[in-house]
Amino acid sequence: MLKFINSLKSKQLFSIINPTLIANPYISSFPKEWFEKIERNWTLVQFMKSALIFYFKMSLKLANFSVQKIIFSIYWNRELKVNNTIFDTFLLSDKVIKDGEYSDTYLTGIHELFKKRGVQYSYLPRLYNLGLNPLKFLLLIKTVKREDKDLIFEHQLISYYDIFLIYLKIFGYTFQSLQLLQSGSTREERLFNYHLIEDIKNQSFEPFLRYFAGKKLAEYKNIEKIISWSEFQVIERAFNFGYRSNRGSGEIYGTQFYLSYPNYFNTFVFDEDYENLSSPHYVLVNGKHYLQERKYNFYRLGVSLRYDAVFQFQKDNQKRDETLLLTSYLKKETNEMIEFCKELDLNIKLHPTQKESDFQIPESFKLIDKNIYHLFQTSKIVITTASGTAVEAVATGVSVIIIASQNNLTSNPLVDYGQGEIWDIIYTKDELERTLKQLLEFREKSPQRIEEIANWYIDNFFIEPTEENIIKAFDMN
């Protein structure tokens, strides 16, 4: 599949941000149906319906951004300051408004080191979870205005004339996408054509903003480095393309400092992406397991900024006697997990984006809201799905059961090493009790092997975020 979609990529914005070519299994059903060998054919009615939904969504989002820009022009009177290093990460609007301040929760622990070494930097925040609420945007602006930080907003970079150009890009997007249609002589081509049309409505508004933000930022020739949180989604691809295609002077460091999955296809950066200018200049990964061989050799080791606790964790298997259920951020999968485990006595920790009222939690479950490493200290086994915490659990010596997705490709961050010993995967509810028993028996009989597997995962999936490793990753010598 990846070879097929890579052959269709081109140095055009509509191709760079196309959801079907990106193959994110949580946005497009194309990857799932490719492996299931589904037969599909697109129709003109399907195209018209998908295009109408797309234009309706884009009209609302473009109008909302225009209102935001007017509000920003009125209430933001600080001078734009573009320093030679840019941190490009998410700003979680609800958290900022609640806390009354902005702190980067993605690239944690490196700002202080940059400051210590005399590096001047600015933030390019990606505003998340604002919706279509101009009052919430106003409250956010008033909150961050009090910050003693150099902040660069898209509303500063993008002019009113650019908004008109964005409108033209949006208008042409659906028709340009048709250029990607294949002859339909094979099942794979027919399936691709179907999802190419279907995914028009799944396109988001933000890539168009990010493209113009990258394009405008390329005009500042003092920039040396852009350190960008990168899941290689459409927003990152569009920004990279806007910046690189307009000859930006700085190098983009795409930081993949998270625990990924083999079927999270959009995170993989290929030589075609580098050639088409949609990739970062460097892809920094969380551990050597994630390194990929590429002709242009842009994959490099990074640091595990968010996983320092893995290296500080003190294993004490004698205290572990609890079973822990860690839920997915997807509500449907969380309900499936609860159904699988409803006859067990266990602790349950909901994903941070979820609320207790969203689910029917059995009385035998004990709802826990503690740091996961505190819970790892007392847990002998973790049950989860589609979560990088499975790797964290194994690395700290906790056994893991992965519940396979019942409606999508299973996102399993673990590898074959240690399967059947410290971890395993189940596909039906009937397998749970047997697998639970097997893993617990292995723990009791082979504690040294458990520790050996845990250390192997630490060595392959993590890099300790020491000052030396951070300096090396970001070429700060």
- DSSP for 223-272 reads --EEEEE----HHHHHHHHHHHHTT-SSEEEEEE-S---TT-GGG---HH
Q: How far from 149 is each of 79, 102, 121, 161, 224, CA to CA, in Å?
A: 12, 9, 9, 28, 19
pTM metric for this prediction: 0.91
Q: Is the pLDDT of residue 318 over 70?
A: no
For residue 319, tell me if it sits in a domain: yes
Under the banding of pLDDT at 50, 70 and 90, the label for residue 334 is confident
Whichever domain contains 340, its CATH number is 3.40.50.2000
For the stretch 205-230, pLDDT in tens is 999 999 999 999 999 999 999 999 99
For residue 426, tell me if it sits in a domain: yes
Q: Is the pLDDT of residue 12 over 80?
A: yes
Higher pLDDT, 49 or 333: 49
251: left (phi over 0), alpha (psi -120 to 50) or beta: beta
Q: How far apart are CA 210 and CA 149, in angstroms?
A: 21
Q: Is the pLDDT of residue 315 over 70?
A: no
Higher pLDDT, 51 or 103: 51
Q: Which residues pair with 424 in a beta bridge?
A: 401
Q: How far apart are CA 210 and CA 214, in angstroms?
A: 6
Structural domain containing residue 438: 310-461
Q: How far apart are CA 266 and CA 276, in angstroms?
A: 15
For residue 175, tell me if it sits in a domain: no
- Could you tell me if 3 and 268 are in contact, meaning their C-beta atoms sit under 8 angstroms apart? no
Q: How far from 157 is each of 2, 160, 464, CA to CA, in Å?
A: 35, 10, 36
For residue 95, tell me if it sits in a domain: no
Question: Out of 11-15, 169-173, 387-391, which region has the weakest mean confidence (pLDDT)?
Answer: 387-391
For residue 71, tell me if it sits in a domain: no
Backbone phi, psi, residue 102, to 5° = -105, 125
For residue 217, tell me if it sits in a domain: no
For the stretch 351-379, pLDDT in tens is 877 888 888 888 899 998 888 999 999 99
For residue 11, tell me if it sits in a domain: no
Identity at 444, one-letter amino acid code = E
Which two tokens mark 322?
Answer: 């609890």
Mean pLDDT, range 42-47, rounded to an integer: 96
The residues near 431 (Cβ < 8 Å, ≥ 6 apart) are none
Mean pLDDT, range 236-251, rounded to an integer: 97
For the stretch 246-286, pLDDT in tens is 999 999 999 999 999 888 899 999 999 999 999 999 999 99
For residue 24, tell me if it sits in a domain: no
What pLDDT was estimated at residue 419?
A: 96
What pLDDT was estimated at residue 317?
A: 54
What pLDDT was estimated at residue 316?
A: 62
Q: Is the pLDDT of residue 332 over 90?
A: no
What pLDDT was estimated at residue 458?
A: 97
The domain tally of the chain equals 1
Mean pLDDT, range 74-78, rounded to an integer: 92
- If you average pLDDT over every residue of the chain, what do you get? 93
Nearest to 334 by CA among 345, 348, 347: 348
What pLDDT was estimated at residue 82?
A: 96
Mean pLDDT, range 188-216, rounded to an integer: 97
For the stretch 445-454, pLDDT in tens is 999 999 999 9
